[in-house]
Amino acid sequence: DMLFTIVKCDYILWKLGGLTLLAMGIWVSVDGGSFLKLLGPFSGQGMQFVNVGFFCIAIGIVLVLLGLLGCCGAHKESKCLLLTFFSIILIIFIAEVAAGVVALAYSSFAEGILRAWATPALKNDYGSDPVVTKIWNTTMSELKCCGFTNYTDFVGSKFEKENGGSLPPSCCWTNSTPCSADEAERSSVQGCFEHILETLKEHANIVGGIAAGIGILEIAAMTVSMYLYCHLDNRVN
């Protein structure tokens, strides 16, 4: 009985965490202004680089569903549901570890993958695709950076040709138009990828702590579900 109580509490924590993120995501999506005011000095730290609201909603839904799956498995004493829960968490855990290894040990490889996506988007879609344009404008404005590598990502681009050789204002220290390639070269504004890397290095302890906390939670969930799975026959008997 004590084991089942602990298991159910563990899955309830998953659901509570998911509901918290879900509520936060809805709040940010509906009333982002008041949310950013609550953050005070942190509100200008590139919060709009991704759509925080929808991201939190998505993660919250996943956590709620996983919590429900675990609770149903424990309540119904279903080995099938418990094994499904364990398998999903294991897949997520392996994917996170693999992503971490690639990012840390093969940073050049990870950079190549990101560059393969970012460079064509800047060359062909920036200025014409509203989604790509908004993401990059917000990123460059908030982080005070230019392009993925630097201003050369925009040289020869569709945006440059359609604007008479002018680059995005963020690529020049004056932050105004027109921003020519020569002016951008003299300004030497850092690329966004290098800026993000430096920011991550400066906050490595926080990033590492969050990653470790998530990993511990996932390992605990897998351990509890597998322990219950293995001892379910004894419980039934």
At residue 167 the predicted structure's pLDDT band, cuts being 50, 70 and 90, is very high
Q: Could you tell me which residues are beta bridge partners of residue 167?
A: 179
- Give dist(CA 100, CA 106) in Å, integer: 9
Burial of 118 (0-12, 13-18, 19+ CB in 10 A): buried
183 contacts: CB under 8 Å, gap ≥ 6: 172, 174
Q: For the chain, what are the domain ranges?
A: 1-76, 90-236
Q: Provide the pLDDT for residue 38.
A: 44
Structure tokens at 27: 């709040």
Token output for 109: 């490889």
**Cα angle 192-194-196, degrees, rounded to a multiple of 5:** 65
The arithmetic mean of pLDDT across residues 165-186, rounded, is 86
3-state secondary structure 36-69: HHHHHHHHHCCHHHCCHHHHHHHHHHHHHHHHHH
Q: What's the distance, CA 74 to chain centroid?
A: 31
Is the pTM higher than 0.85?
A: no
Q: What CATH architecture is 90-236? A: Orthogonal Bundle (1.10)
- Of residues 190 and 101, more confidently modeled: 190
User: What is the distance in angstroms between the CA of the first residue and the CA of the last residue of the chain?
Assistant: 14
Residue 40: pLDDT over 50: no
Does the pLDDT at position 27 exceed 70? Answer: no
Among 65, 51, 55, which residue's Cα sits nearest to residue 18?
Answer: 65
Lowest-confidence region among 17-31, 34-48, 93-107: 34-48
Among 193, 188, 199, 163, CA closest to 178: 163
Cβ-Cβ contacts under 8 Å for 36 (sequence gap 6 or more): 43, 47
